[in-house]
Structure 1
Amino acid sequence: MTRKQKRLAGLFGILAVVATAAGLVLTALSDSVAFFNSPTDIVAHAPGETQRIRLGGIVEAGTVHRDAGQRVSFRVTDTVESVPVVYAGLLPDLFREGQGVVAEGHLGSDRVFVADTVLAKHDETYMPKEVVDDLKARGLWKDGAIVSAAEPAAKGAGL
């Protein structure tokens, strides 16, 4: 082999190693990516059972039920649709009805969202950005608060 051929072979070897490493990193990251969905998105376009997603919205009033142990079921709503959620574990201290929540997990075959992580808002003014953006797009968010479903949606549409 000439010197030029050796350099070319070395260059192709390095490129093959870099391409393999990049492929492995992208494969590993694709397993941990969770896309945000509102309850309306999930009802309209149900993701696959193995697809990991984030469900964001408001904990619907009157729907939190605790079983014996640490299993909790509740519904998450965006004031248009709601999705039942089941979670086994300790909930954040600030978790309660009527507050913003983001749950990570997957949608089961029975169309119940099985959460493995539940995040609640941490103060009076915080709501997950994705939830606020979704509520604003629907005209249900005004001046840092949810517009009542009884109020006309046009009131919040100018935000």
Structure 2
Amino acid sequence: MKGLKKKRRIQIILVAVVALAVSTGLIGYAMQDGINFFRSPSQVAEAPPSQTETFRMGGLVEEGSLRVELDDSIVFNVTDGGATIPVSYKGQLPDLFAEGEGMIGTGKYINGVFQAHEILAKHDETYMPVEVIDALKEQGIYQAPNASDS
């Protein structure tokens, strides 16, 4: 009788371990496309990601670089002061998107161009994403907005 209880306990523990391993694997697989790492233009220039990797890149939209191509794609440069990366985007830009302002895009780096499928711009006059602020501070070009500008 004791041997049967011990055998049953071992079976239950093994089933629990297998179920835990399978559920962990499924969660990891499901999150595979949902995790996007942030990179600054300098990080992209130093160590370009693979063409299949989706990631977020942010910085300031370079003055004078914004233009619309014949195929209706929007092309501009993003900089953090240390490097400048060209960006191509098809779609409608956010209302507050402008040259000299902060932005974050999600997409892939293909043949030296960041192909964005989503563009986020600041949501008011004073907001800038933390990742962009950190990247600009690293390059020594971040200027905090004046309280009197609000």
Counterparts of 2:138 and 2:43 in 1: how far apart (Å)?
A: 13
Q: Tell me how large the CA RMSD over aligned residues is.
A: 1.6
Q: Which residue of 2 aligns with 1:139?
A: 140
Counterparts of 2:57 and 2:100 in 1: how far apart (Å)?
A: 15
User: Is the CA contact 1:39–1:57 (under 8 Å) kept in the aligned structure 2?
Assistant: yes
Instruction: Give the Å deviation of 1:142.
Output: 3.3
Residue ranges of structure 1 left out of the alignment (5+ in a row): 146-159
Q: Which residue of 60, 64, 77 corresponds with 1:62?
A: 64
User: Is the CA contact 1:70–1:90 (under 8 Å) kept in the aligned structure 2?
Assistant: no
**Aligned pairs, number:** 144
User: Structure 1 length normalisation: TM-score?
Assistant: 0.84
Instruction: Give the Å deviation of 1:68.
Output: 4.7
**More relative contact order in 1 or in 2 (CA 8 Å, sep 6+)?**
2
User: Structure 2 length normalisation: TM-score?
Assistant: 0.89
Mean alpha-carbon deviation: is it higher for 135-144 or for 21-30?
A: 135-144
Q: Which residue of 2 aligns with 1:51?
A: 53
**Code of the aligned partner of 2:66:** V
Residue ranges of structure 2 left out of the alignment (5+ in a row): none
User: Per-residue CA shift, 1:102-130, capped at 9, x if unaligned?
Assistant: 0001100x211000110000111111101
Q: Which residue of 15, 34, 54 corresponds with 1:13?
A: 15
